[in-house]
Amino acid sequence: MVILTNVIAFFLAYILTSGIKGENFFRAGFFSSNLIGGIVLGIIWNFIFSTVFVYIGKNFFSFIPFLSKSWLGDPTKALWALVITTVWQYSGYMMIIYIAGFISVPKELLEAASIDGANNFVKLKNIILPFMVPSFVVCLFLSFQRGFIVYDINLSLTTGGPYHSTELISMHVYEKAFLAQQYGIGQAEAFFLFVVVFIVAVSQVYFGKKLEMEA
Give me the pLDDT at residue 90, please.
93
Candidates 125, 147, 131, 201; CA nearest to 5 is: 147
Give me the pLDDT at residue 30, please.
92
Helices and strands of the chain, counted as H and E runs: 11, 0
Averaged pLDDT, 135-149: 87
Candidates 5, 200, 12, 198; CA nearest to 102 is: 12
Mean pLDDT, all residues of the chain: 86
Give me the pLDDT at residue 72, please.
87
Domains plus CATH for the chain? 2-214 (1.10.3720.10)
| pLDDT digit string, tens, across residues 54-106 | 777 777 766 676 676 778 888 888 999 999 999 999 999 999 999 999 998 88
pLDDT at position 213 over 60: no
- For residue 159, what is the DSSP state? T
Give me the pLDDT at residue 212, please.
64
| 3-class SS of residue 9 | helix
Give me the pLDDT at residue 63, please.
67
pTM over 0.75? The answer is yes
> CB-hemisphere CA count at 13 Å for 161?
7
Averaged pLDDT, 168-178: 88
